[in-house]
Homo-oligomer: A and B are copies of this chain.
Amino acid sequence: MSVRVDWRQAVAFTGTVIKYLAVAMLIPLAVSIVYGDDILTFLASIVITVAVGVALERLDDDPELGPREALLLVALSWGAVAIIGAIPYVIAGYGTESTLRHPINALFESTSGFTTTGATVLGEISLDRHSHAILMWRQLSQWLGGMGIIVLMVAILPEAAVNGAQLIDSEAPGPELQKLTPKIAETARLLWLFYLGFTVLLMALLVALHYAGLAPNMNVYNAIAHGFSTLPTGGFSPQSESIAAFSPAVQWVIIPFILVAGTNFALFFFLLRDEYAAVLEDREFQVYLGANAGLALILWGLLFTGSAPPLDIGGATQGALENSLRQATFQIASLLNSTGYATSDFAQWGDTAKVVLLLAMFIGGSAGSTGGGIKIVRWLVVFKGIRRQLFTTAHPSAVKPVRLGGTVIDEDVVQAIYGFTMLYILVFGLATVLLALDAGRVGLEITVLEAASASLATIGNIGPGFGFLGPFGSYLDFPSTSKLLMIFLMWFGRLEIIPVFVIFTGAFWNE
């Protein structure tokens, strides 16, 4: 292990990541050509991206990363990609009324994309105001972000032993990360294949629905766009009304894909090998499905009985049973695993329903998924840790390990998970206070719920909140300082906080 952090290695590797981003920009370039939009935006962006990538890459010939360099790479690459990814927004917005012509707005939107958050500062989401290519770039940024998350989860966090991420891949070889081992690279490649496969399948189904006459608005463009933002639990949409713009058939079809996006992708290995028992016995998967079902049932009850003002969803409305069940199932699935799609403006629902949605927003996806938030496996370890504490309070001399699915969890891992969860909650709380104070400073009227949901929806990479930042609203009205804070929150949250926090400590840079 090197004595000092070799930042040149990390920066050079970041350069490579940026070079690949230029390749991805060929897709919106193609969209520009197809729709006859201006092609200069993405041509210019590609030139800049390649230039920056190549320049950075030259800093080190053959980067081999140690654990600290890997952490630095993670933090740097998400930051750099978000900055580079904002360039097309600024170029396209130049000389127009687009809110993204302002660099901070562009960076917010780009960070929100690559961190799969889905919070937007686009004033008006419409193909009349923005080109097909720009709106597709937003969608694609989420899909690329999701791909990055898979590498992060499989290859980097477990190797660097961050936040008890060892749990995710118990076969990880050790604390040293010299280079991607063939086995880890293989795992990542397989998970990518699942990710790609589900994406293509969803796009195909949506197109099929369209040509079957069941989804009038779901043309090929929209099918590709929403395919890009579903599997990464992204939540962006080129429609200002999100998934509410589409037919019930589309909404029902998207629900299982949202659920898949929050599932541990490793479980699909077992499915491929017909080992269904292994899937059904997975503790985290059980809790994931159970939480989705339980909360959806409660919300269904609230919507259908009208206990929460239902806005023509429940009660005596025609089709109320199907409508309220669909809305409840969709919205819980979407918020629980941090997707953030909406089939209704839930910011207008009653406060009892909002509390249920907030509860869902605190849960998060499964380990090994693209879902954000605290994540179910961590909640499981926290619950088991507390149960153990109750036991040892009654029996002080007893020694009892924390177990998950039969395996003993190392005490260091238990403590790391407690630490992560507390830090997440603390950052959420502190950011709520800062957002409220900053709003007070500029005279922006903000409620406690709006401030808290802005904080939660950005650090949890969820996207929409309540009030003016609801699913049909935007983050545009926040002052720039708040937007910068939320850019940090999205970055912290997506990278599991610790890898970002740690690079701001002196201890990281010293021997």
Q: Which residues of A contact B (CB under 8 A)?
A: 67-68, 71, 160-162, 175, 298, 302, 307-308, 350-352, 354-356, 358-359, 362, 382, 385-386, 389-391, 393-397, 411, 414-416, 418-423, 425-426, 429, 432-433, 436-437, 439-441, 443, 445-449, 451, 466, 498-499, 501-502, 505, 507-508
Q: Give me 26 A-to-B residue pairs in the complex whose CB atoms sit less than 8 angstroms apart, sorted by A's number.
A: A68-B394, A71-B393, A160-B393, A175-B396, A298-B437, A302-B440, A307-B443, A351-B446, A355-B432, A355-B433, A355-B436, A355-B448, A356-B437, A382-B422, A386-B422, A386-B426, A389-B419, A390-B498, A394-B502, A394-B508, A411-B411, A415-B415, A418-B418, A421-B422, A422-B422, A447-B449
Most chain-B CB neighbours within 10 Å: which of A298, A352, A382, A419? Answer: A352
Whole-angstrom CA separation of A466 from B351 in the bound complex: 15
**Apart from the given pairs A355-B437, A389-B416, 12 other A-B contacts in the complex at a CB distance below 8 Å:** A71-B394, A160-B396, A161-B396, A351-B445, A351-B451, A352-B440, A355-B433, A356-B437, A359-B433, A385-B419, A394-B508, A418-B422
Choice from B391, B466, B499, B508 contacting A505 with Cβ under 8 Å: B391
Quick one: given A390-B501, A425-B425, A451-B355, are A415 and B308 in contact (CB under 8 Å)? no
A48: min CB distance to chain B, Å: 33
> Which B residues touch A391, using CB under 8 A?
505, 507
The answer to whether B358 and A393 have CB atoms under 8 Å apart is no
Whole-angstrom CA separation of A433 from B421 in the bound complex: 20
> Which B residues touch A382, using CB under 8 A?
422, 426
Residue on B nearest A397 in the bound complex, by CB: B175
Choice from B351, B393, B395, B439 contacting A352 with Cβ under 8 Å: B439
The answer to whether A393 and B162 have CB atoms under 8 Å apart is yes
The answer to whether B356 and A433 have CB atoms under 8 Å apart is yes
Whole-angstrom CA separation of A441 from B162 in the bound complex: 43
> Which B residues touch A418, using CB under 8 A?
385, 415, 418-419, 422
Most chain-B CB neighbours within 10 Å: which of A414, A416, A436? Answer: A436
> Which B residues touch A394, using CB under 8 A?
68, 71, 502, 505, 507-508
